[in-house]
Amino acid sequence: METRDVFWRIYRQSLPVLFVALLGGLFAGLVLEGLIESVERFPGLLVMVPVFLATRGNVYGALGGRIASGLHQGLISPRLERDDRLVNAVIASFVNGIGISIVIGVVTWLALFLLGWERALLVEFVLIMLIAGVLTSVVLIFGLLLLIFAGFKRGYDPDNLVGPIVTTLGDIFGMLFLLFSVSLVGVVL
């Protein structure tokens, strides 16, 4: 029964990583619960949270998918080396990840402005996003590559690893760096 084999293979390979993702998500939830208190200092902050967390799926999920396909096709090898393809994929992720963070700050402020809701300053939103975006991209890009390569060498299908790794790292570090960034900007400005 090929069908049954495929079913169980996907289920068994994905479940452990999804459980790790669940733990990461619950941890991020605890941080989010703490972040809700900062809403008074930065009104409109909650609007940015899902958008900021979604970026990791967009930028680093795409990087992971590209690396997974590259490994499958034998275009790249599972090592952190100065390979042209790998370097280009990493540069693109930095540019995309940090660039979109700035856009998020601006767009959030604009949306709140258009809705006529209470909002923090534009420069506060942009700074919070920039700091959180830079820190998150460093940890996510290198963390993702190391984990995919390690999994691939142990015989895991990188396709099953990418999504959960990205969301788990993104949840934990995204929320922590966001909380850090919010506190930092709260102190400095």
Partner 1 sequence: MITPQGSLGTWNWKTIVGNMFPLLIVLTVIVLFAGVRLEEAEEMLTEFVILAVMVPTMVDMGGNLGAILSSRLSSRFHLGTTTLDPRDRVLWANVLAVLALAATIFTALAVGAFLLGQLLGSTLGLGTLLVISLTSGMLLAVIAIIFSFATTYASYRYGIDPDDTTIPVVTNVVDVFGMVIFLSVSALVLGV
Class of residue 82 by CB neighbours under 10 A (exposed 0-12, middle 13-18, buried 19+): exposed
- Pick 54 or 184: Cβ nearer partner 1: 54
Question: Given candidates 100, 128, 148, 169, which one binds partner 1 under the rule CB under 8 A?
Answer: 100
- Pick 85 or 187: Cβ nearer partner 1: 85
User: Among 111, 146, 127, 145, which Cα is nearest to 189's?
Assistant: 127
Cβ-contact 161, 17 below 8 angstroms? yes
Q: How far is the CB of 187 from partner 1 (least distance, A)?
A: 24
Q: How far apart are CA 78 and CA 102, in angstroms?
A: 32
Q: How far is the CB of 46 from partner 1 (least distance, A)?
A: 4
- Pick 151 or 164: Cβ nearer partner 1: 164
Region 12-51 residues binding partner 1, contact defined as CB under 8 A: 14-15, 18-19, 21-23, 25-26, 28-30, 32-33, 36, 39, 44, 46-51
User: Among 59, 40, 171, 169, which Cα is nearest to 104's?
Assistant: 59
Question: Given candidates 98, 132, 171, 177, which one binds partner 1 under the rule CB under 8 A?
Answer: 171
Q: Does 133 bind partner 1 (CB under 8 A)?
A: no
Question: Given candidates 11, 79, 80, 150, which one binds partner 1 under the rule CB under 8 A?
Answer: 11
Three-state DSSP state, 56: helix
Question: Residue 39 gets which letter from DSSP?
Answer: G
Three-state DSSP state, 77: coil
